Structures are given as C-alpha cells and as structure tokens.
Amino acid sequence: MKFTSTIPLILFLFGTSLLLFSCKKEENNAIITVNSSEKIESDSSKIFKEPFRPQFHFSPEKKWMNDPNGMVYYKGIYHLFYQYYPNDIIWGPMHWGHATSTDLIHWKHKKIALFPDKLGLIFSGSAVIDQNNSSKLGTKENPPMVAIFTYHNMEGEKAGKTNFQTQGLAYSLDEGDTWLKYEGNPIIGNSDLKDFRDPKVFWNTATNLWNLVLVAGDRAQFYTSKNLINWTLQSEFGKINGDHGGVWECPDIFKLKVANSNEEKWVLLVSINPGAPNGGSGTQYFIGDFDGKTFRTVQKETKWIDYGTDNYAGVTYNDAPNNRRLFIGWMSNWQYARNTPTKNWRSAMTLPRELSLEKLNNNYILKSTPVEELNKQFTTELSKDLLSLNANHTITINYDNLNQSDIKFKAYSKNLKLIFSNEAKDSLVIDYDAKQKTFSIDRRHSGIVNFEANFGKKIHKTSTSNIVSKTISYHMILDWSSIEIFLNDGIYTFTEQIFPKKAYNKLSIQSNENQEIKNIEISKIKGIWQN
C-alpha cells in the first residue's frame, strides 16, 4: 500500500513579500514547492534581458570583454576597467572599457577609457592614485589616477619580432573620466621577451616605493620606482615554481593577515593558460614573503584560487576601504570564450569576492567569499532548520527562480548529490564523494553545450583534502548563465558557466547514506539592471 502524507500549507512573511510553500512526502521522498512573490522571466525586448545575460554580475552593455584591469577605489567609487573590443563579440584590438560602482554590485557604464595608438593595442594592467603626486602628472591637491598597462604591437608580432610588448602609462585628472597618454611611453622597454605583460602596481608602505610585478615569459619580475615612470628591475620568481603548462599572465601581489593569529604573509597570484586543473585557463597562487624587492616561498604544491573552469585573470583592488582585499575575475575560459551562445555581448565578471588567509593543518589556504554587499539583493523565499534525507531517497525543491538564487545549507561530510534541472531535460549535477574526498561538477547535459567541444566534454572533478570537518557548508549562487560554489566559507571555490535552454526550476537532493540538510535557505537575488 502506498503511503502519502501532505503537510499543511505553511505561510511565511518576509519583509513585505508574502511567501508560500507546501511540503509533501511520498514514500520518504519529500517534495517542497516554493511559490515566489515574483517569477523572474527573460524578456529579450529589453536591454540586459537577453538570453543568458547575467542579472547581478557585471557584463558590458554590448560587444566583447575579457580581463578585469585597473581596479582602484577612490573617493567612494570602485573603478573597474576591463579588456574591451567595441566592434564585435569576439576578441579584437583591445581597449580599456570602464565602469564604476559605489557598492561593487550595481555598476554604471562609462565611456571607453583607453584606445590603441601607434605603440600598440592596450592590453591588461592596473591603476593607482598617486596621492603624493610623485609622478608630477597632477598636483597634491588633485592627484592623478595613473594607469600602467601593456602595449601590444601587432605589426611587430606579425613581423616575427619578440619584443612587441612594452609597458605604457596614462593618467587622468578627472577621476577616470578622460585620459592622457604619457609622452615618454613606453616606460618599460623590452629587449627580447615574447610574453612581457600585465603590470600590477601598488604603493608599498614598508619601503615608501612603488612596486610593480609583471610576467616575463615563464616567470614574474618585480620592479621598484619612486615616481611611477622610472622603474628598476629587482628580482625574478617562478622559473622553478608553480605550474608551467601554459603562458603566465595577470600577476598580483598583496599582504594578508593569517586568521586567528598575528602572522602576515604575502600572496602572489599568477594566471596561466592553458594548464588549469580542470582544463584551459586558471589562476594559481603562492604564499610567501616579500621584502619589496624579492618574493620567496617554501610552497611546493600548486594551489588554485578557483577549481572551476571559469574564473581567470582575476586581480584585486588597490586602496579598498577597511583594508579589504577584494577580487574580481573574468568569468570565462579561453578554451571556448569566443564561442559562448550569447548575442550582442559576450562575457561577464565573477561576483566580487573578499579574500582571506587561513592556516589549516599547517597549510596556508587562500579563501574567497562573495562580498557582503550582495546580501542586500536577497529576498528569502525558503528557510527550514532541518530536512532529513534517508538513504537512496530524494528531496525535491520546485522553485521557478533557481537561476537567480542564493542557496545555503549545511550537511554531514557524507556523500551528497545535487541536481538542478528543468522541463527541457537539462541537468547540472553537483556531487560530493566523502570516501574519495572529491567534489565534481557535471555540466555535460546542463543546457547548450555543443558550441565548443571542450565545454561539455567531461566531468570536472577536484580533490578536497582540506575538508576535514564533520559538516560541510554549501553556498551556491546561480545567475542566468553561471554557478559559483563556495564550500566551508571559501576553502574551495568553483565557478562554472552554464547555458540552460530554460531556467532550472527543480533542485533534487540525494544521497546513498542517511543525511541531514540543516539550515537550508534559498533566496531570490534582485537584478542589478532593474530601475
């Protein structure tokens, strides 16, 4: 005899929204239906409502975007510059696009900041505020915003030269609205290196000098300057360190305090393409010490800031308030970036994340978590203290807005499988294997995957040996074309693009062991492009 019980409808009031969900049990399979106060639907007739357009991640108004550049905070404004090609949705001659925000979540599109010139295309770099006017390009009363970037000379490359990349400087005296190129460019020349690019500049308070790190072939180079114009090479790092399966790119270096201690360490980020743990592009990091001239580390193994396939070329903000170390990456992968199934625009940035450093089992771990400012976009639509999951049974949550949601819960460190699906028979599978201590993401059937062979080719699997707790906190954020996953407050992070044919509206939770889903909370995330 089949047993079916229906739990009475439960009414919740959150803020001003009246929310309703029902729970039904059939032979130990629980079904929860969440009726949102507002169904989020795509309307391709409206700007920023095209299919797959991220609703709370930064994306350009139109055309192509890649690496974040020139990230600096000044007078209450976060500036985000980025690699931009204004004439097509595939990569082309690089400019610097520009956007600003007061909260890292809502962005205002600005006019193009930097255009190619006779010295070359404008590749990646960084920006600083020259507060003391050491460059003499502004005044102490009106300090210049200074951008240092890579010139890429296409004619030189086509001619077979190796020194076609140099470093240039531009400055703004109106807080980034208009820019002047330095008349003495390039400020750092190149004798014979094919890959010589992506300078990150910052003021070193310990040495009272400007520091610059860039990548030079298969290593990083460190420079110092008194005035942002004249630079001295001090040291190199990396020929025998880290992974070298591809080109080194987009370095960054900064100091962080180790949690629950008085210890401070330096973190060096280096992106690499190809060579990431799950294929294509990724960002490795090194923990060590830096005296303003030389970076040293005893780290042997390679560590990655993100184990998904779509977080590349990420760097951090200069001068962020309250000493926060804020990170944004390009949410794509060079294996398939030019072919993703979007129209009018292509690419988005990851959510801004705050980085922190923790020592776990005598091992330094760089953690990343979504910035707290995102929480203001949430409306909680399901909140439950406990869902009991019997072995080989399923908890199903029906919810129309899964592709614009924040999902949090804790579970025992046991096997757990999560399946996001829709009526189009798309499925995105998240799987934790407790015995093998591996976490996997299977997007092979997640929606449109056939635009490039590498996108849906394999399951992405990661060893999670640093998970040693009895319970695991899961935090998943889904947008119209992405999922970002943070395990145990960012000890492991996974960023993946997805292109479901219809929005996911069902989440199935399964295990072959008895499990408990504790403190589950599902929130709708308000779009940033809405008025």
Picking from 270, 236, 241, 267, the residue whose alpha carbon sits closest to that of residue 254 is 267
CA distance 426 to 502: 8
Q: State which amino acid sits at residue 148.
A: I
CA distance 342 to 451: 11
With a CB cutoff of 8 Å and minimum separation 6, the contacts of 296 are 237, 288, 289, 290
With a CB cutoff of 8 Å and minimum separation 6, the contacts of 423 are 502, 505
347 neighbors 308 (Cβ within 8 angstroms)? no
What backbone torsions phi and psi does residue 323 show, to the nearest 5 degrees?
A: 55, 25
Active site residue 243: no
What backbone torsions phi and psi does residue 338 show, to the nearest 5 degrees?
A: -75, -10
CA distance 486 to 476: 6
Which of 67, 198, 400, 406 is the catalytic position? 67
* 44-67 exposure pattern, b = at least 16 Cβ within 10 A, e = fewer: eeeeebbebbbbbbbbbebbbbbb
Is the preceding peptide bond at 51 cis, omega within 30 degrees of 0?
Answer: no
Is the preceding peptide bond at 274 cis, omega within 30 degrees of 0?
Answer: yes
Tokens of 381: 């639509």
C-alpha gyration radius of the chain: 24
- For strands 393-399 and 29-35, give the pairing: parallel
Q: What are the beta bridge partners of residue 432? A: 416, 439
12 neighbors 37 (Cβ within 8 angstroms)? no
Residue 216, phi-psi category: left (phi > 0), alpha (psi -120 to 50), beta (remainder): beta
What stretch of H or E contains 59? none
With a CB cutoff of 8 Å and minimum separation 6, the contacts of 460 are 278, 279, 307, 308, 309, 440, 441, 442, 443, 494, 496
CA distance 372 to 375: 6
Q: How far is CA 53 from CA 340, 441, 445, 507, in A?
A: 12, 22, 20, 22
Residues catalogued as catalytic: 67
